Amino acid sequence: MPAIEEQDPALLPQKITHICCIGAGYVGGPTCTVLAQQCPDIVVTIVDVNPVRIAAWNSEDLTQLPVFEPGLAAIVGECRGRNLFFTTDIDKAIDEAQIVFVSVNTPTKTSGIGSGFAADLRYVEASTRRIASVAQTPKIIVEKSTVPCRTAASMRAILEANSKPGTPFQILSNPEFLSEGTAVQDLLHPDRVLIGSLDTAQGRRAAELLSEVYERWVPKERVLHTGLWSSELTKLAANALLAQRISSINAISAICEATGANVYEVADACGVDRRIGPHFLRASVGFGGSCFQKDILNLVYLSGSLGLPEVAEYWRQVIVMNEFSKARFAKKVVQTLFNTVTAKRLALLGFAFKKDTGDTRESPAITLCKHFRQEGAHIAIYDPKVKREQIFLDLTEPGVTDDRKAVEEAVTVCPSVLDACHDAEAVVIATDWDEFSAIDWHKVFNIMRKPAVVFDGRRVVNPAKLREIGFRVHAVGVGPELQDNVWV
Ligand code: UDX
Ligand code: ADP
């Protein structure tokens, strides 16, 4: 097979009629569902090794899809069986496709070199090998999963060593910037679509073909073309910058609490400066989600491996500050409840890492539960979307505890806010679900033990109103004497 730079662009697919997406998770599922909706002439097949996940995507009852995203079920209902298919028949889908998206998980490594920092690329490698073994026709392979810089080069080495003669391929990096909870809107109206390619005739042609797919619904000027490694690094950099803003405002919120300032006033006043901007300055109990921590750890590892320890340390501080924020909030709960929560019932409202998603990966609620359990509290959890079993899985993860029985004794998963708050000493708000802004706090007050305390980690409640009812309230980032004025 000729070296890739020498291949003729004419050997690339000429027309895109079939797209395969490997990985039916939070990224692959919504992304390729929206793609199918916007490109009715392209057959989109989403494949996964996990038959349970595929069965859930195929379920008749659209409320049972494995990923909850506002608006997603309706689009699945519209496209499934028309030009959108979910299957475990991975080889057939790869064989038919001209473009193969690789959207598999890339968790942080838990052992070996780079453990705790580097991305575990075993699933990307397995998918790449599978493509190489199956492909009989030219393929454009698109990295969608967040990967360390230069992963495309590793994928290329695997493909070059394993693909059949006469089956040229091009690798593109096309990172996903969707945010959970608003995935459908983010996919329909992206700020940008980023396509990284090799700067060769074939690379540019492959990027053009992918670009033409997106341009069916994304304005051309929003499709950015860069080199492969710039594209790979942009994903890590964008998430690191966003997370850095949250850690920065959370650091300021600690100063606010100690001085009597109000972090919301500070954030608003900073945010009107156009150079700073208002977004991602919401002080909170801490950030969660599958991307921020993982991508920063990845960046830390990359910087360290490149002999840039100062750069590594700089980014590591974003994580350190996030851990500090979660621990500081948990400590505040314990201190306020007369320095002990042993045998006390705490109502934890929200378990997802943010509203409008059932995803709990790296959710601050998990860390809070760990702290509360260490103090011997009983935790009553309510979340509108997260299932009971998922909560117990998260709370018995390695690193948290492996004692399921002890967790079951200490934790109750409740069907409603009122159930969770019954007989509780305190309410702890960990997720910004809209329904928590509409809670009937009079009812809650009547069923709680007194003094009844609310700890708001998400700026969901109006402290002044709650105090009128009789609650004591602690809101993140608001000093004691200003707590009543949070909403002024
Ligand atoms: C993030 C990026 O936004 C997205 O572009 C990327 O593709 C994936 O990672 P996501 O993790 O889904 O998306 O959610 P995001 O809205 O970024 O929130 C992440 C965490 O930060 C959540 O726990 C959220 O509650 C928290 N957050 C966000 C704050 O605490 N304060 C803020 O101001 C914003
Ligand atoms: P993300 O948030 O990145 O989408 P998820 O864990 O939600 O991550 O989804 C990744 C999906 O990729 C999982 O459903 C997993 O089963 C699937 N997957 C992992 N490796 C492979 C593989 N080699 N072939 C097909 N699917 C895979």
CATH number at residue 8: 3.40.50.720
User: Is 81 marked as binding a ligand?
Assistant: no
Question: Cβ neighbours of residue 310 under 8 Å, at least 6 residues apart?
Answer: none
Tell me, what's the pLDDT at 1?
Answer: 42
In the numeric block, the tokens 């809670």 are attached to: 439
Tell me, what's the pLDDT at 4?
Answer: 46
What angle (nearest 5°) sits at the alpha carbon of residue 195, between those of residues 191 and 88? 100
Same domain, 80 and 189: yes
Q: Which residues of the chain have pLDDT under 70?
A: 1-10, 399-402, 481-488
Residue 171 lies in a domain: yes
- pLDDT one-digit tens code per residue, 242-275: 999 999 999 999 999 999 899 999 999 999 999 9
Neighbours of 139 (CB within 10 A): 27
Residue 396 lies in a domain: yes
Same domain, 420 and 478: yes
User: Is 293 marked as binding a ligand?
Assistant: yes
Q: How far apart are CA 115 and CA 434, in angstroms?
A: 37
Tell me, what's the pLDDT at 115?
Answer: 87
Tell me, what's the pLDDT at 114?
Answer: 86
Tell me, what's the pLDDT at 481?
Answer: 56
Same domain, 42 and 139: yes
Residue of 173, 185, 242 to mutate, ligand 1, most atoms within 8 A of C-beta: 242
Same domain, 300 and 395: yes
Residue 125 lies in a domain: yes
With beta carbons less than 8 A apart as the criterion, state whether 349 and 420 touch.
yes
Residue 223 lies in a domain: no
- pLDDT one-digit tens code per residue, 204-218: 999 999 999 999 999
Same domain, 186 and 78: yes
Shortest-distance Cα residue to atom 11 of ligand 2: 23
Same domain, 177 and 257: no
User: Is 414 in the active site?
Assistant: no
With beta carbons less than 8 A apart as the criterion, state whether 108 and 297 touch.
yes
Nearest ligand, measured from the Cα of 321 = 1
User: Is 184 marked as binding a ligand?
Assistant: no
Tell me, what's the pLDDT at 291?
Answer: 93
Q: Which of 291, 369, 414, 421 is catalytic?
A: 291
For ligand 1, is residue 281 a contact (CB within 6 Å)? yes
User: Is 361 marked as binding a ligand?
Assistant: yes
Tell me, what's the pLDDT at 119?
Answer: 84
For ligand 1, is residue 291 a contact (CB within 6 Å)? yes
As given in the structure block, the two tokens for residue 363 are: 């959710």
Residue 224 lies in a domain: no
> Which domain covers residue 27, as residue numbers?
4-218
Nearest ligand, measured from the Cα of 123 = 2
Same domain, 213 and 252: no
Residue 156 lies in a domain: yes
Same domain, 180 and 261: no
Residue 281 lies in a domain: yes
Tell me, what's the pLDDT at 167?
Answer: 85
Shortest-distance Cα residue to atom 6 of ligand 2: 105
Same domain, 286 and 433: yes
For ligand 2, is residue 48 a contact (CB within 6 Å)? yes
The SS3 assignment for 309 reads: helix
Q: How far apart are CA 230 and CA 180, in angstroms?
A: 24
Tell me, what's the pLDDT at 415?
Answer: 97
Domain boundary among 186, 218, 250: 218
Closest CA to 148 of 304, 31, 22, 29: 304
Same domain, 367 and 447: yes
Same domain, 206 and 304: no
In angstroms, what is the span from residue 149 Cα to ligand 1's centroid?
22
With beta carbons less than 8 A apart as the criterion, state whether 228 and 171 touch.
yes
Find how far residue 355's CA is from the centre of its chain. Answer: 12
Q: How far apart are CA 7 and CA 384, in angstroms?
A: 53
Residue 234 lies in a domain: no
In angstroms, what is the span from residue 129 Cα to ligand 2's centroid?
15
- How many domains does the chain fold into? 2
First-residue to last-residue Cα distance in the chain? 69
Same domain, 335 and 201: no
